[in-house]
Chains A and B, each alone.
Chain A
Amino acid sequence: DADVTQTPRNRITKTGKRIMLECSQTKGHDRMYWYRQDPGLGLQLIYYSFDVKDINKGEISDGYSVSRQAQAKFSLSLESAIPNQTALYFCATSDAKGGTDTQYFGPGTRLTVL
């Protein structure tokens, strides 16, 4: 969905480096999420945020941190990247006010940790 953008789209880094992935949305949604997808698998939730002051851990948050700089921006950091964090990372947004809470996904960031 073009209303949800992620940067960078691809990144190769080395073990031990700190990496930040950024997500921006123009949908005006209050909820934002970070997921990771390993090859051949579904998506797993890393962190989610219901508004700027509300950030929560998902099912696989170890080794990650997040920052909600504004309603429209949600960043994911890998403090010290390791090879098993090589994956496709997705940001998503949703708006519960509409009653459906449909989640819309960004294009993904393909991260490789050597």
Chain B
Amino acid sequence: GIQVEQSPPDLILQEGANSTLRCNFSDSVNNLQWFHQNPWGQLINLFYIPSGTKQNGRLSATTVATERYSLLYISSSQTTDSGVYFCAVVRLTDSWGKLQFGAGTQVVVTP
């Protein structure tokens, strides 16, 4: 199956700092999503971004499909940004939408 690697595994930020999370994948994809899992366990959709760049408030994401990676940018971080960020992909050759998740990046934003 497709391998999804996220880095770094853990990140500690001071409020107001910027950060970049990375997702590498081992095969061509036709679906890539970024999720935020908050401390209560809820999974929140951030971006659907199999290619290109998108922005939503303080968050933005870029996927370079030809080089098999995606980046999630958090600017001016807030304590509410704490949680785990997951990247998940669907391999291009899959005939259905099986999302393969990475192990996540645990983010802690301190006041």
Contacts and interface: CB of A to CB of B under 8 A. Distances in A.
B41 interface: yes
A15 to B, nearest CB: 24
A42 B98 contact: no
B45 A90 contact: no
B42 A108 contact: yes
A108 B97 CA distance: 20
B86 interface: yes
A107 B42 CA distance: 5
Given A1-B45, A88-B41, A90-B43, A103 B102 contact: no
Contacts of B43: 90, 105, 108
A100 B86 contact: no
| Secondary structure of the A contact surface, majority rule | strand
Interface in A89-112: 90, 94, 96, 100-105, 107-108, 110
Contacts of B83: none
B103 A96 contact: no
B33 interface: yes
A102 B45 contact: yes
Contact of A42 (B31, B41, B96, B103): B103
Which range holds the interface residue count of chain B?
10 to 19
A100 B103 CA distance: 23
B98 A45 contact: yes
Contacts of B96: 48, 50, 56
B42 A96 contact: no
A46 B42 CA distance: 18
Nearest to A109: B41
Nearest to B101: A42
Given A58-B98, A96-B97, A102-B48, 11 more contacts: A41-B103, A42-B88, A43-B99, A43-B101, A44-B101, A50-B96, A90-B43, A102-B31, A102-B45, A103-B97, A105-B43
24 contacts: A1-B45, A41-B104, A42-B86, A42-B103, A43-B86, A43-B88, A45-B98, A48-B96, A50-B96, A56-B96, A90-B43, A96-B97, A100-B31, A100-B48, A101-B90, A103-B33, A103-B88, A103-B97, A104-B45, A105-B42, A105-B43, A105-B45, A107-B41, A108-B43
